[in-house]
Amino acid sequence: MPTLRAPSDRPNIIFILADDAGLGDLGCYGGTAVPTPHLDRLASEGRRYTNAYCGSAVCAPSRAVLMTGMHTGHIMRRANQSKIGLLALPAGTPTLPRLLQAAGYTTGGFGKWGLGNEGTTGAAEKQGFDYFYGYYDQVHAHSYFPAEITRNGVREPLPGNANGARGQYAHDLIEAEMLRFLEANRTRPFFCYAPWTLPHDKYEIPDHSAFADRPWPEEVKIHAAMIARMDESVGRLLAKLAELGLDENTVVLFSSDHGPDGPGKDIFNSTLGLRGFKRDLHEGGIRGPFLARWPGLVPCGSTSDVLTGHVDCFATLLDLAGVPVPPNDGLSLRSDFAGGYSGRTHDSLYWEIYEPTGPAPFQQAVRVGPWKGYRTGLKEPLTLHHLSADPYETVDVAASYPDVALKIEKIMTREHVPSPHYDAPDRGPARAQD
C-alpha cells in the first residue's frame, strides 16, 4: 500500500460537484451514450468508488451534508424548501470552507451554492468562502443565460444576456473564474469548490451540433451536450493543474449532488438500471459517481467498494489538510484513498427527505452492509432489500428477515431528530406491494 502523505503537505483541494448527473452518464461507470473522456481519465488516474452515496436525493440538503458532514436526520436543511420557505445556514456553522479558511487555506466557490441567498447568514462569503462566483439561489441557477450573476454576495449584470439575449453562457463564465482562481493561488494552499450546474434543467447550451446525428429528440441532444460540456471543463481543469505544476499536491474529487434527471435519463440509462431517479431515496436517487485523484497517493485505475458517501467528505478533506475534525456523522477516507482501507467503516448510512413531488412526501432510507431499508412514515412498515442479490430493489424480503428489518427500524428511529421546519408523518401514502 502506498505511504500516506503527511498532513503537513497541506494539499490543494478541488471538489467538483455536478448537478443531476447519474452513474450511467459517465463512461467510467459503464455509460455509453455520451463520451466523457476527461472524467474517464480522472478515474484511470485515480480511484473510482462503486458503493458511494449522495447526501440526499435533491440539491440543497445534499450540499448541506457536504458542507457540514451531518446527515439529513441531523442537519437543518432536509429539503429544498421548508414550512417557512428557504432555510439559510445559521451564522457560525462549522462548514468545510470555514474550517479550511481558519487553517490558512484560500477558499473559492464556483457554481451553485444553494445554502443561503445574498444577504442571509447562509451566504457563501459568510460561511467561509473568500471568493464565490455563480448562483446563490437555486431558482436563479435554472438559467444558463441569466441577466445577472453573483460575485461575493453582489449580483452583477451580464450585458450579453440583457433583454433576453443569449450572449454569455454562465457555465463558461464560472469555469473561467475558477481557472483564474487556481492561477492566482498557485503558491498557497487552496480549496476550490466547483458545484457546477451542468447538466441540470433548464436544457440550453450554445451548441449541441456534436450530437446532431443522434436519433434523439432535440432536448435530449441538448442534455447530452451539457454532459459533454461538463466533461470538457474537467479536461481544462486538469490541463490547468499540469500547466501550473500543481498536479502532485492537488487532490481532485468528482461527484454529483444526487441521482439523475432530465429528458435523456432513460435513453442514457443514467441510473444503470437502479430503481428511482432524483427525489427518490431508492438507489437510483442517491447512488452517485465518486472519483478521487491525487498522484502519488491514490493508486491509478483503482476501485473501492467501501460504503461511503458525501457525509464522509467533510471529515476526509479536513483530515487530508491536517485540520482537526469536529464532531460529525462521517468518517475519513484518507486511508482508503491510499488503496487499502484500514480505518473505521460505517455500520449504517441514513437519509430522510421531504419532497412533495417525489414518490412520497416523506421518505427514510438506511443502508446496513448489503441491506437497504426504505419507508414513507415514521411508523410505516419498511420494505427491505438485499442489494447484493437484488440491486434493483425489486423484491421486499422484510417478512423473511424480521430481525434485519427491526434493526433498520431502530436505526431510523435513532437517527431521525425531529425538526420544527419539517413534518414527518407516522404513515405514508398507500403504495403498491413490491
Positive or negative, the CA dihedral 58, 61, 67, 73 is negative
- C-alpha distances (whole Å) from 35 to each of 39, 221, 225 are 9, 13, 10
Residue 182 CA to residue 297 CA, distance in Å, equals: 21
- C-alpha distances (whole Å) from 216 to each of 145, 198, 220, 263, 431 are 24, 20, 6, 10, 34
Q: Are 330 and 388 found together in one domain?
A: no
Q: Are 198 and 309 found together in one domain?
A: yes
What's the pTM?
0.96
Strand, coil or helix: 16: strand
Q: Are 328 and 369 found together in one domain?
A: no
Can you say how many angstroms the Cα of residue 278 is from the centroid of all Cα atoms in its chain? 12
- The CATH number covering residue 224 comes to 3.40.720.10
Q: Take residue 253 and report the three cell numbers written for it.
A: 474529487
Which of 63, 60, 64, 66 lies closest to 85 in space, CA to CA? 60
Q: Total structural domains in the chain?
A: 2
Tell me the chain's radius of gyration from C-alpha atoms.
21
Q: Are 53 and 168 found together in one domain?
A: yes
Q: Are 272 and 379 found together in one domain?
A: no
Residue 63 CA to residue 68 CA, distance in Å, equals: 9
Q: Are 297 and 381 found together in one domain?
A: no
Is residue 111 one of the residues assigned to a domain? Answer: yes
Which of 210, 309, 255, 353 lies closest to 21 in space, CA to CA? 255
Is residue 167 one of the residues assigned to a domain? Answer: yes
Is residue 379 one of the residues assigned to a domain? Answer: yes
Q: Are 372 and 284 found together in one domain?
A: no
Is residue 54 one of the residues assigned to a domain? Answer: yes
Please check whether residue 431 is in contact with residue 418, taking contact to mean a CB–CB distance below 8 angstroms: no
Contacts 24+ apart (CB under 8 A), 384-388: 384/408, 387/283
Q: Which of 337, 368, 393 is the last residue of a domain?
A: 337
Strand, coil or helix: 384: strand
Q: Which of 306, 337, 368 is the last residue of a domain?
A: 337
Q: Are 368 and 288 found together in one domain?
A: no
Is residue 182 one of the residues assigned to a domain? Answer: yes
Which of 289, 282, 284 lies closest to 259 in space, CA to CA? 284
Question: What CA dihedral angle connects 298, 299, 302 and 303, to 10 degrees?
Answer: -30
Q: Are 309 and 404 found together in one domain?
A: no
- C-alpha distances (whole Å) from 241 to each of 14, 166, 233, 291 are 11, 31, 12, 17
Q: Are strands 47-49 and 290-293 parallel, antiparallel or unpaired?
A: antiparallel
**What pLDDT is recorded for position 4?**
43
Q: State yes or no: cis peptide before 83, omega within 30 of 0.
A: no
The phi, psi pair for 234, rounded to 5°, reads -60, -40
**What pLDDT is recorded for position 2?**
36
Is residue 350 one of the residues assigned to a domain? Answer: no
- C-alpha distances (whole Å) from 2 to each of 111, 340, 419 are 34, 9, 44
- C-alpha distances (whole Å) from 207 to each of 133, 178, 225, 291 are 24, 22, 8, 28
**What pLDDT is recorded for position 8?**
43
Q: Can you give the residue range of the structural domain that contains 292?
A: 9-337
Q: Are 299 and 243 found together in one domain?
A: yes
- The CATH number covering residue 392 comes to 3.30.1120.10
Q: Which of 337, 372, 404 is the last residue of a domain?
A: 337
Q: State yes or no: cis peptide before 199, omega within 30 of 0.
A: yes
Is residue 422 one of the residues assigned to a domain? Answer: no
Q: Take residue 284 and report the three cell numbers written for it.
A: 437510483
27-55 exposure pattern, b = at least 16 Cβ within 10 A, e = fewer? bbbebebbebebbbbbbebbbbbeebbbb
Q: Are 41 and 92 found together in one domain?
A: yes
Is residue 346 one of the residues assigned to a domain? Answer: no
pLDDT of the chain along its 434 residues, tens only? 334 444 447 899 999 999 999 999 999 999 999 999 999 999 999 999 999 999 999 999 999 999 999 999 999 999 999 999 999 999 999 999 999 999 999 999 999 999 999 999 999 999 999 999 999 998 898 999 999 999 999 999 999 999 999 999 999 999 999 999 999 999 999 999 999 999 999 999 999 999 999 999 999 999 999 999 999 999 999 999 999 999 999 999 999 999 999 999 999 999 999 999 999 999 999 999 999 999 988 999 999 999 999 999 999 999 999 999 999 999 999 999 988 766 678 999 999 999 999 999 999 999 999 999 999 999 999 999 999 999 999 999 999 999 999 999 999 999 999 999 999 999 999 765 55
Please check whether residue 291 is in contact with residue 49, taking contact to mean a CB–CB distance below 8 angstroms: yes
Q: Are 283 and 376 found together in one domain?
A: no
